[in-house]
Every structure is written in C-alpha cells, then in structure tokens.
C-alpha cells in the first residue's frame, strides 16, 4: 500500500465520507495537539507575560465561537470540504479548522499585545473585540436560519440549571472546586458539550462521529452527560492539587474549556440551523 493510500485510509476517508473517527486519528492528532499546546504555545505565550486567567478565557471565547460557527457553515454546505491538506477547504473541517482558528487567534493575540502596549489599550477588550468582529456576522447569519429554537433553548436551560445547581451544592458542602471563574467555565463548557450532544442525538436526527460517545449515547444516553461532568471534576481536582505553576494550571483549564465550548457551540448551532433535522 502506497503512502497516499495509507494517509487516505487513516486520516482522510472519515472527512471524505463523513464517517466516524478512527483510532489512528485520535492518537496522532491528540499527540500533535498536546505537543503544540504544551511545548510550543504555552512556553511561547508564558514567556511574553500572557496570564491564563478568567479574563483571558472570556476574551478568547469569540474565537472559539468563530471556529464553531465556521464549522456549521460547512455543515450547511455553504463552505467547501476537502480531505487534502493542500487545499483551502481542508481548513473548514476537523482537524484543519483547529489549525486555521489557532492561526487567526495567535495573530489577533500578537496584534492585541502590541497595540495594548503601544496605544495603552486594554488588552483583553481589544483581543475580544477582534474576535467578535470575525465571529458575530457568521453567528448572526446562522441565527437568521435557525429552525429549532426549542432544541437550542432546551440545551441552554439544561446547562444553566445544572451548572448553577452544582455550584450551589458544591458551596453548601464547603468544597472550593467551583469557587474560581475558570473552574466554573470548565464545568459549563463540558455540560454544554454533553447536553447539546444528548439533545441533538436523542430528540432530533443528529449523528455522533466519535465512537466512544456514540456507544454511551446508544447504551445509556444520560451517561454521556454524567461522564462529561464527572470527568471534568476529576481533572479540575487533580490540576488544582498537583499543578503548582499557577499559569500552567490556568492554561490546562483553558484547554478543557476550549474543547468543551468548541464542540458544544457547534452542536448547538448545528441543531439550531437544522442541518440534522
């Protein structure tokens, strides 16, 4: 089997045929992502004084929304799709879209850092505004094409009630795990991902591309949501207890938040525009 055929079978066939993710993709893409995050991006930004705190995460949210909204445009067949990394359309689907959004985000971050120092502008507000300029027109267009408002509202209510309830219970039990903004955002992001997938697959006609998630949703649907929420508690507990570097601790939490909101927002927008109704 030639290298081109191997690449197509393990990394491109899923994109071309809209199939399930394969083990090779999880391993390779996961390894590449972890390397870039912790050996390139974190050291680079940490040395330049970027603080990975709640303000930074809130300023970063428009870029997460941009990635999710762009992905939904492809679902709506308004953007082309390609399995070839040498073609622009490859960067509108996973994993290419992560590289595209990461590039846009990093360029915007560098511009914001430079402008904030040069012109004495609030870095967080400028960084967020640039992201909103990119994201809002796309999101507004998708809002105009919403067909399943009830499903979207159901998801948002479930996330809001669950997050608020868990924060309340945690406080009553004297636990500090949900005291910080980043921890609360991490919980909300994974709850959004869990409930959006649950509602979209169980009450509408959306499919699930991830084999493990599909197995949980088929076997015991609520277990998918419980697994997402339970896992985020375990990770947050470990990170807060074991990671002594405050900025690294914040960075890890931001990665968790991005992963939750990226897929959760995409599912909510996909449900809204009705591409799987």
Measured CA to CA, the distance from residue 127 to residue 116 in angstroms comes to: 9
pLDDT at 37: 95
Q: What is the mean pLDDT of residues 78-90?
A: 90
The torsion angles phi and psi of 275, rounded to 5 degrees, stand at -70, -10
**Is the pLDDT confidence value at 246 over 60?**
yes
Comparison of pLDDT for 192 and 15, the residue scoring more: 192
Cα–Cα nearest to 11, from 274, 21, 236? 21
Comparison of pLDDT for 7 and 82, the residue scoring more: 82
Q: With left for phi above 0 and alpha for psi between -120 and 50, is residue 114 left, alpha or beta?
A: alpha
Q: What is the mean pLDDT of residues 165-194?
A: 94
pLDDT at 207: 61
- The distance of Cα 183 from the centroid of its chain, to the nearest Å, equals 15
Given a contact cutoff of 8 angstroms between Cβ atoms, the answer to whether 255 and 37 are in contact is yes
Alpha-carbon distances, residue 270 vs 30, 161, 185, 223, 263 (angstroms): 24, 22, 22, 22, 10
Measured CA to CA, the distance from residue 73 to residue 80 in angstroms comes to: 9
Helix (H, G, I), strand (E, B), or coil: what is residue 175? coil
**Which residues, including other chains, have CB under 8 Å from residue 259's CB and lie 6 or more apart?**
189, 193
Residues of the chain above pLDDT 70, percent: 91
């Amino acid at each position: 089997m030639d290298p081109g055929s191997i690449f197509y079978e393990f990394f491109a066939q899923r994109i071309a045929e809209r199939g399930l993710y394969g083990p090779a993709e999880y391993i390779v893409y996961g390894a590449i992502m972890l390397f870039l995050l912790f050996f390139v991006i974190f050291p680079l930004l940490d040395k330049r004084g970027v603080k990975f705190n709640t303000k930074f995460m809130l300023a970063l949210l428009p870029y997460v929304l941009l990635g999710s909204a762009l992905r939904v445009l492809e679902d709506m067949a308004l953007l082309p799709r390609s399995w070839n990394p040498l073609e622009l359309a490859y960067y509108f689907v996973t994993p290419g879209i992560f590289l595209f959004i990461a590039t846009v985000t990093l360029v915007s971050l560098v511009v914001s850092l430079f402008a904030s120092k040069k012109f004495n502008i609030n870095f967080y507000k400028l960084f967020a505004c640039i992201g909103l300029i990119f994201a809002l027109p796309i999101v507004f267009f998708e809002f105009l094409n919403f067909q399943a408002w009830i499903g979207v509202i159901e998801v948002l209510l479930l996330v809001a009630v669950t997050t608020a309830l868990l924060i309340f219970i945690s406080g009553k039990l004297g636990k500090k795990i949900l005291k910080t903004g980043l921890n609360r955002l991490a919980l909300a992001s994974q709850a959004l991902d869990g409930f959006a997938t649950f509602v979209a697959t169980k009450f509408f006609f959306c499919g699930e591309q991830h084999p493990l998630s599909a197995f949980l949703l088929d076997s015991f649907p609520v277990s998918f949501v419980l697994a997402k929420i339970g896992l985020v508690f375990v990770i947050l507990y470990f990170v807060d207890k074991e990671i002594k570097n405050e900025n690294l601790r914040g960075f890890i939490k931001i990665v968790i938040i991005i992963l939750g909101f990226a897929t959760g927002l995409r599912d909510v927008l996909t449900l809204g525009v009705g591409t799987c109704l």
